[in-house]
Amino acid sequence: MSKILEGRWTAKLEGSFVVFIIGMRINKPWLIHRWLPLVVQMTRMLRELYPRPDLGFMGGKTWFGRTIVLIQYWRSFEDLEDYAKARDLEHLPAWAAFNRAIGTNGDVGIYHETYCIEPGQYENVFVNMPPTLIGAVAPMIEARGARASARGRLTDSKPTA
Q: 3-state secondary structure string, the chain? A: CCCCEEEEEEECCCCCEEEEEEEEEECCCCCHHHHHHHHHHHHHHHHHHCCCHHHCEEEEEEECCCEEEEEEEECCHHHHHHHHHCCCCCHHHHHHHHHHHCCCCCCEEEEEEEEEECCCCCCCCEEEECCCHHHHCCCEEECCHHHHCHHHHHHHCCCCC
Kindly report the pTM of this predicted structure.
0.90
Question: What is residue 117's predicted lDDT score, i.e. its pLDDT?
Answer: 97
Lowest-confidence pick of 23-32, 68-77, 149-158:
149-158
Q: Are residues 45 and 74 in the same domain?
A: yes
Q: Are residues 101 and 128 in the same domain?
A: no
Q: Helix 91-101 to helix 77-85 angle, to the nearest 10 degrees?
A: 60
Judge contact between 138 and 13, C-beta under 8 A: yes
Instruction: Give me the residues paired with residue 80 across strands.
Output: none
Q: Among 7, 8, 41, which Cα is nearest to 23's? A: 41
Q: Are residues 74 and 132 in the same domain?
A: no
Q: Are residues 34 and 92 in the same domain?
A: yes
Question: What is residue 15's predicted lDDT score, i.e. its pLDDT?
Answer: 93
Question: What is residue 2's predicted lDDT score, i.e. its pLDDT?
Answer: 75
**Domain residue limits at 102:** 17-116
Question: What is residue 157's predicted lDDT score, i.e. its pLDDT?
Answer: 63
Does the structure show a pLDDT above 70 at 159? Answer: no
State pLDDT tens for residues 79-110: 999 999 999 999 999 999 988 888 889 999 99
- Find the mean pLDDT for residues 17-24: 97
Q: Is residue 161 part of a domain?
A: no
Q: Are residues 108 and 50 in the same domain?
A: yes
Q: Are residues 101 and 48 in the same domain?
A: yes
Q: Are residues 41 and 109 in the same domain?
A: yes
